[in-house]
Amino acid sequence: MAVIKMIVSSVLIASFIGISTAEQSEVPIGLFDSQADVFALPNGEIPEVPIDEGNGEEDENAFILSTSKPLGQVAGLGIDSTGNLIAFHRADREWNEDTFTKDFKLNKALGVIPNATIAVIDPNNGKVSAEFGENLFYLPHGLTIDHEDNVWVTDVGSHQVHKLDKNFKPVMSFGEKMMPGSDEKHFCKPTDVAVAKNGHFFVADGYCNSRVLKFDSKGNLIDIIGSEMDPFIIPHSLSLIEDLNLLCVADRENERVQCFSAGLKEGHRSIPAGIPITSADNIGRVFAIRERKHFLVGVTGSDAEEAVESQVFVIDIESGKAQTFLKGIENGHAIAISPEGTLFVAQINPNQIVSMNLN
């Protein structure tokens, strides 16, 4: 494992109106410290340095998780109920200017990826224990694991969303294969999925549609989230905070996180999906967000003017306080958080997974 040592600094990145309800569960203290130190990577690089075992104490804050088998561009990450880290990667395929035509269709010269695109990884030592996904995907993107260990993935190459069972066998697919579109039966480079316990799911759609779609468990469209007056510009990642009835969207090119009512409550206290609740603005190009115990964690890239440095941020959803946790981690594309509070960040170019403790 290559260790990352970081310089301590402190930055407040955004204001965020706290969310509270009479029904929300009490948040245990200690998983994330609201006064946690903030770290910066020198020169925006991740140095590979040996672990110092001189005093027997571990003072490193993050390290590169070296996998036992090479992975391609890791576009999606998740953690299953047994603690395995699941990586959705592109094998030897890379997304470049020739991948799609001007009408968003995959280059005909590119067929299905013949190699494995899903890796099951031991998060403690990087050992790849199993691989799946051969001859299934064209350009992997988002990955989400639901409460039943079903694995949901988006394929921007085929413009589809797939639900896989816990053995990684396809059970349902949504969207017309290889056909981009903007009606209720089509997607255009969908980016991510969020799944509720009642089976309803949300799709961020995506690179060429500025919307988030809500479906029932059978794939029937229920709602469309998005405003023509203030549209998303690449909704790139989703995080569902179900007990708060909140869906947060990483609105990448608008450099913000927007949170909306998810429309999951029933009865007299129900609120329709898509009502704006709160947001964090001007925080950089947000590539990925995930929530753990009412803390929203995200990773950003540098903006076009490089005025905002890439960073990992943590927002306390209840208080609205936002902090930078780590600065200078470039090209972070996906994240996953373990129940113990370990954050995994997948970077693209360099293709690697960084692990850090948020406690």
pLDDT of residue 34: 34
22 against 87, higher pLDDT: 87
- Of 22-31, 113-122, 208-217, least confident by mean pLDDT is 22-31
pLDDT of residue 22: 38
Highest mean pLDDT among 20-29, 48-57, 79-88, 350-359: 79-88
DSSP letters of 288-318?
Answer: EEEEETTEEEEEEE--TTS-S--EEEEEETT
Sign of CA dihedral 22, 25, 30, 36: negative
Residue 25: which pLDDT band, with cuts at 50, 70 and 90? Answer: very low
Residues belonging to the binding site for Zn(2+) are 141, 236, 333
pLDDT of residue 83: 97
pLDDT of residue 266: 75
3-state class (DSSP) for residue 199? coil
| Mean pLDDT on 106-132 | 97
Quick one: which H or E segment has residue 127? none
| Mean pLDDT on 203-232 | 95
Residues belonging to the binding site for a protein are 90, 207, 252
Residue 325: which pLDDT band, with cuts at 50, 70 and 90? Answer: confident
Burial class (CB in 10 A: 0-12, 13-18, 19+), 26: exposed
pLDDT at 23 over 80: no
Q: What percent of the chain has pLDDT over 90?
A: 72
pLDDT of residue 20: 55
Distances (CA, A) of 295 to 99, 223, 248, 256: 36, 26, 12, 16
Residue 338: which pLDDT band, with cuts at 50, 70 and 90? Answer: very high
- Ramachandran region, residue 331 (left: φ > 0; alpha: ψ -120 to 50; beta: rest): left
- Ramachandran region, residue 158 (left: φ > 0; alpha: ψ -120 to 50; beta: rest): alpha
Residue 261 CA to its chain's centroid (Å): 19
Sign of CA dihedral 274, 332, 208, 197: negative
Distances (CA, A) of 24 to 31, 264, 279: 17, 14, 19
Residues belonging to the binding site for Ca(2+) are 77, 143
pLDDT at 337 over 50: yes
pLDDT of residue 62: 83
DSSP letters of 135-149?
Answer: TT-SSEEEEEE-TT-
pLDDT of residue 134: 98
pLDDT of residue 224: 97
| Mean pLDDT on 119-135 | 98
Sign of CA dihedral 93, 195, 252, 289: negative
Residues belonging to the binding site are 77, 90, 141, 143, 207, 236, 252, 333
Domains of the chain: 2-357 (2.120.10.30)
- Of 208-222, 258-272, 331-345, least confident by mean pLDDT is 258-272
Alpha helices in 98-195 (DSSP H): none
The phi and psi torsions of 85 (rounded to 5 degrees) equal: -90, 125
Task: Give the span between the Cα atoms of 22 and 307, in whole angstroms.
Answer: 40
- Of 95-99, 113-117, 308-312, least confident by mean pLDDT is 308-312
Residue 109 CA to its chain's centroid (Å): 29
1 against 286, higher pLDDT: 286
Question: Which amino acid does the sequence have at 149?
Answer: D
Calculate the average pLDDT of the chain: 85
> For residues 110 and 100, is the Cβ–Cβ distance under 8 A?
no
The phi and psi torsions of 244 (rounded to 5 degrees) equal: -100, 5
pLDDT tens track for 28-79: 323 333 333 333 333 344 333 222 233 333 335 789 999 999 999 999 999 9
The phi and psi torsions of 206 (rounded to 5 degrees) equal: 175, -125
pLDDT tens track for 158-212: 999 999 999 999 999 999 999 999 999 999 999 999 999 999 999 999 999 999 9
DSSP letters of 208-262?
Answer: S--EEEEE-TTS-EEEEE--SSS--S-EEEEEEEGGGTEEEEEEGGGTEEEEEE-
